[in-house]
Structure 1
């Protein structure tokens, strides 16, 4: 789906309030990454510093820090669980987040404490599109603003 020129793949789940996408893996773990809207808001990302592997992450608590042009932001998890791994390629080359946020630019994998309860709170399809459209409206997001939009011409 496309919202204001930004792509949100239909096969993912979304936590709009965290600007994150989630994908359940065959082994029951969940991969998290920053959405195209999160990338557009941050602009060029200069660093991702994750918590250590095997740390227990609480819901709405930080799993790492994302550094961008003039600030840093705590990346907060929409679910509780054990952090299985961070994306070491992104730690070494954070530009992957902006280049391919839905594939090679993923951030962490987590073993959820209660995936069914979390899944029930996540959005997909039209509900996700509406939630992101509303966030963009509330944020006064302007897809034509070069100061905000770091993804112009990028399909992700």
Structure 2
């Protein structure tokens, strides 16, 4: 793990956008930023998320993040209706930095068509290897 980035194999990654999706047992999908994204952004100081009930197309903004050196949107890797937002990160935005795959999740969606959207995401050992190849090609490293 020469790049130092944490990339769990059980998640689905939109590699070019540095976001992840995690299907839950109830059929919903959690969405968040990867360890790579939080490392590139630096310390997150503000998180603004889309409102509940909002229907998002794949690639549309799930919200915005602001760090000391970056402000940007978070593209959603899966189309669907926002059914939950992580209220905890509004008061503790650095959870995106310290626990991007756990307490730092961003939104939960009721997917419009998970089977189709998941085909466009990388997952498992192969997906992680593909992600690491991109990081190496771009010279990206994560700092912890």
Fold match (TM-score > 0.5): yes
Q: Supply the distance in 2 between the matched residues of 1:53 and 1:91 (Cα, whole angstroms).
A: 15
Alpha-carbon offset, residue 138 of structure 1: 4.3
> How is 1:30-109 mapped onto 2 (pairs within 5 angstroms)?
30-109=29-108
Secondary structure of 2:130 counterpart: helix
Alpha-carbon offset, residue 22 of structure 1: 1.2
Secondary structure of 1:17 counterpart: helix
- The 8 Å contact of residues 48 and 90 in structure 1, kept in 2 or not, is answered as yes
TM-score normalised by length of structure 2: 0.91
Query: Which runs of no fewer than 5 residues in structure 2 stay unpaired?
Result: none
- The 8 Å contact of residues 41 and 69 in structure 2, kept in 1 or not, is answered as no
> How is 1:4-15 mapped onto 2 (pairs within 5 angstroms)?
4-15=3-14
Secondary structure of 2:122 counterpart: coil
Deviations 1:87-125 (A, max 9, x none): 000111101111111111111000111011011121112
TM-score normalised by length of structure 1: 0.85
Q: What is the Cα-based RMSD across aligned positions, in Å?
A: 1.5
Alignment-derived partner of residue 24 in structure 1: 23
- The 8 Å contact of residues 52 and 83 in structure 2, kept in 1 or not, is answered as yes
Q: Supply the distance in 2 between the matched residues of 1:79 and 1:137 (Cα, whole angstroms).
A: 26
Q: Supply the distance in 2 between the matched residues of 1:56 and 1:133 (Cα, whole angstroms).
A: 32
Query: Which runs of no fewer than 5 residues in structure 1 stay unpaired?
Result: 144-148
- The 8 Å contact of residues 57 and 78 in structure 2, kept in 1 or not, is answered as yes
Q: Supply the distance in 2 between the matched residues of 1:135 and 1:30 (Cα, whole angstroms).
A: 25
Larger mean Cα displacement after TM superposition, 100-109 or 7-16: 7-16
Q: Supply the distance in 1 between the matched residues of 2:101 and 2:62 (Cα, whole angstroms).
A: 18
Deviations 1:133-154 (A, max 9, x none): 233234332x3xxxxx5x42xx
